[in-house]
Amino acid sequence: MIIKEGKNITLAEKSKFINQLLKETKRKLRNVLILPPDFTRFCSGAGKLTEILYHSLPTYANVDIIPTLGQHTPMTEKEIKKMYGKIPLQLFKVHNWRKDTIKLGEIPGEYVKKISQGKANFAIDVEVNKMLVENNYDAIFSAGMVVPHEVLGMSNHNKNIFIGIAGRNMINKSHFFAALYGIENNLGRISPPLRLAFNYAEKKYLKSYPVIYVLIVMGTDEKGKLQTRGLYAGEDEETFIKAAKLSQKLNIHSLDKPLKKVVAYMDPYEFKSTWVANKAIYRTRMAIADEGELVIIAPGLKSFGENPQIDNLIRKYGYIGTPGVLKAVEKNEDLRENLVAAAHLIHGSSEGRFKITYAPGHLSKKEIEGVNFSYVNLGEIEKRYNPSSLKEGKNILASGEVIFYISNPAAGLWALKGQLTA
């Protein structure tokens, strides 16, 4: 295991870290696979680390790169260049979660039932991209940011494989498993049940694959600007645990009192659908007061789902809360076949506890209200809450209104003291 921690790790230090990793790998790196996050994790810093890694590999190495899309929209050439810099475009392969996978085995239903305390009771197929299995790689570098996450407690590690390049059954059932267990029972935890399930799958089915994790932890300065605070590389679970502990320390913000009004800004380059922009809901929900309000300023928002099928399902059923979604799953085949959408609808609801208001750049009032969110005009809300003039955290406006502003909800988790002790 290699560790580098600091207040603001420089580009030179990142290069040194990667060179040390390659030196200690002690493998003839003729055939290499890199699994970085996709553009929805642009702020992670993993794109630059991927670029450094690629240019540090031996010149004779054959390199494949699969952005870990899961079921997200494939990246455009412009996004690839913006995120990964000067890596040849032809090296990037698009993961198709419906067609490109092979089944290695399954996580047994009895084990799922046991670790979920009976809340889920079904087997989960372990499906990964065929290239990982068939291409006989000398090393598989899985890179990405560790940060609080709604499905796995903390993101990254084997998530890159078991969601990022996984198949339909695995993506559907793992997300539904997490939703049944409860989003607030997952957020910010290092080893919630789904993580245990993925660890089971890794130990049983990935033993013979040379996976090396390259993990990043980001922190924010007093102005909310992201800085690289930790780099971790290794092949074992302890690598992830060390990164996750630093992320918990840096990225979980504990509050004394519930927040009555939260205003969140979603960067238009990264957040173009509620599928990813709803991170504003996930990461703040534990801190918002009953009868409070979350206002999400999303100038890039133009869809609900990351693909047409999921988009249609979100429009059809809307964010109707857990009881409503579970009834819909019971009665409707289209949701049973797309449990990832059902899980998303559960996660994106406040369960009627607080109001969720979207200010979208490209969706109409009718569309937003059609999925059970409230709508406000983007231009109007940006005049009232100008992101360029707000500071992170508590703001008292000229009108006397008190709001809590978050410029990048995806980079953290906000919760009340005592909520994450378990």
- Supply the CATH classification number for the domain 2-253: 3.40.50.11440
CB atoms within 10 A of CB 72: 23
C-alpha torsion sign, points 190, 2, 230, 75: negative
Helix 46-56 to helix 77-84 angle (10° resolution) is 80
Chain-centroid distance of CA 375 in Å reads: 25
pLDDT tens-digit readout, 5-26 = 998 999 999 999 999 999 998 8
The residue type found at 122 is F
Q: How much is the pTM?
A: 0.90
Token pair belonging to 28: 């003839």
Helix 46-56 to helix 11-25 angle (10° resolution) is 50
**Which of 366, 422, 352 lies closest to 117, judged by CA?**
422
Distance CA 208, CA 226 (A): 36
C-alpha torsion sign, points 405, 409, 411, 412: positive
In sequence order, which residues have a C-beta less than 8 Å from that of residue 162 and are 6 or more positions away? 126, 128, 170, 174, 198, 201, 202
Residue 217 near residue 230 (C-beta atoms within 8 A)? yes
Distance CA 18, CA 231 (A): 10
Question: CA angle, corner 95, sides to 180 and 124, nearest 5?
Answer: 30
**Which of 283, 277, 320 lies closest to 297, judged by CA?**
277
Superfamily of segment(s) 256-416: LarA, C-terminal domain (3.90.226.30)
* pLDDT confidence tier of residue 44, bands split at 50, 70 and 90: confident
pLDDT tens-digit readout, 112-159 = 999 999 999 999 999 999 999 999 999 999 999 999 999 999 998 999
Greater model confidence, 72 or 281: 281
> In 3-state terms, what secondary structure has residue 89?
helix
Distance CA 46, CA 193 (A): 26
* pLDDT confidence tier of residue 179, bands split at 50, 70 and 90: very high
Kindly tell me if the per-residue pLDDT of 408 is higher than 70.
yes
CA atoms in the 13 A half-sphere facing the CB of 413: 27
Distance CA 422, CA 414 (A): 16
- Percentage of the chain lying above the pLDDT 70 cut: 99
**Which of 43, 80, 88 lies closest to 64, judged by CA?**
88
Q: Quick one: average pLDDT of 352-374?
A: 97
The helix (H) or strand (E) run that includes residue 152 is none
**What pLDDT sits at residue 41?**
79
CA atoms in the 13 A half-sphere facing the CB of 44: 26
DSSP class of residue 231? E
Determine if residue 376 is left, alpha or beta; phi over 0 gives left, psi from -120 to 50 gives alpha, anything else beta: beta
Residue 395 near residue 402 (C-beta atoms within 8 A)? yes
Instruction: Provide the greatest CA pair distance for the chain.
Output: 65
Q: What are phi and psi of 134, to 5 degrees?
A: -95, -15
Across 309-396, the runs of DSSP E, i.e. the strands, are: 355-360, 374-375, 393-396
Q: Quick one: average pLDDT of 272-281?
A: 96
Which residue ranges make up each domain of the chain? 2-253, 256-416
> In 3-state terms, what secondary structure has residue 285?
coil
Kindly tell me if the per-residue pLDDT of 422 is higher than 70.
no
* pLDDT confidence tier of residue 188, bands split at 50, 70 and 90: very high
Token pair belonging to 332: 């409707």
Residue 119 near residue 194 (C-beta atoms within 8 A)? no
**What pLDDT sits at residue 421?**
62
